Amino acid sequence: MRVVLRRVHKSFEQKGQRVQVLSDVNLAVEEGEFICVLGPSGCGKSTLISLIAGLEFPDSGEVFVDSKIVEGPSSDRLVVFQEAALFPWLSVLGNVEFGLKLARVPEKERRERALEAIKMVHLARFVNAHPHELSGGMKQRAALARALVLDPKILLMDEPFAALDAQTRNLLQVELQEIWQRTKKTILFVTHNVREATFLSDRVL
């Protein structure tokens, strides 16, 4: 899927004042492209992600996905956040299966797809572990599997590795690259780390 933003403006009301966050943003992300969005804290990266995810709407201008205006969230565009936000009472398998359950995917298929996604993020040994038994990196792996299992066309990643140590972060960067090459998903990856941005993608916004 192709993402296009055309003359997008977005502001928020803060303590009675208008804060302009995005002004005349224009961009195109091609299908299958891996693009990084780089910028300092507060510059509007998460806001940009929310607009594409359909969680927020522009004041003016348009956000298109495959030539259709984004009108709300969709399982075609999923967000992976900095904090994994897994359900603490569910195992890794339970967390990854959750979205499929909501979508009423039959149990056998659900199990197969979940296990495949868990394998893709190298968590197979921890399918039955609960979030409190996982390290930060493992939690992010589980969160990634939870998104991948729904087979989104676009993966929106908002500083997913920011809270990890350098070594784990490097490992997950390499693995994400492999997943991208295998699945050919369109990925928008937010970071404020220049090294991460230049390592991960050919084009940095």
Ligand X SMILES: Nc1ncnc2c1ncn2[C@@H]1O[C@H](COP(=O)(O)OP(=O)(O)OP(=O)(O)O)[C@@H](O)[C@H]1O
In the complex with ligand X, the residue whose CB is nearer, 42 or 66, is 42
| Least distance between ligand X and beta carbon 22 (Å) | 8
Rounded CA-CA distance 5/201 in Å is 19
In the complex with ligand X, the residue whose CB is nearer, 47 or 201, is 47
- Our finding on whether 43 is near ligand X (CB under 6 A) is yes
- Our finding on whether 41 is near ligand X (CB under 6 A) is yes
- Nearest-10 crossing angle of helices 136-148, 92-102: 20
In the complex with ligand X, the residue whose CB is nearer, 39 or 54, is 39
- Our finding on whether 47 is near Mg ion (CB under 5 A) is no
Q: Are 90 and 42 in contact (CB under 8 A)?
A: no
Q: Under rule CB under 6 A, which residues in 160-189 are in contact with ligand X?
A: none
Rounded CA-CA distance 157/169 in Å is 14
Residue 114: CB atoms within 10 A of its CB come to 25
Find which of Mg ion, ligand X, none residue 42 binds, CB within 5 to 8 Å per kind.
ligand X
Rounded CA-CA distance 155/165 in Å is 23
Rounded CA-CA distance 60/66 in Å is 19
Rounded CA-CA distance 30/65 in Å is 10
The span of 38-46, 65-73, 83-91, 197-205 binding ligand X (CB under 6 A) equals 38-46
In the complex with Mg ion, the residue whose CB is nearer, 117 or 156, is 156
Backbone angles phi, psi at 146, to 5 degrees: -60, -35
Find which of Mg ion, ligand X, none residue 173 binds, CB within 5 to 8 Å per kind.
none
The span of 46-54, 135-143, 149-157, 170-178 binding Mg ion (CB under 5 A) equals 46-54
- Our finding on whether 21 is near ligand X (CB under 6 A) is yes
Rounded CA-CA distance 120/144 in Å is 10
The span of 40-48, 62-70, 104-112, 168-176 binding ligand X (CB under 6 A) equals 40-48
Of the candidates 1, 65, 5, the residue with the CA atom closest to the CA atom of residue 205: 5
Chain residues that interact with Mg ion, rule: CB under 5 A: 45-46
Chain residues that interact with ligand X, rule: CB under 6 A: 12, 14, 19, 21, 39, 41-47, 192
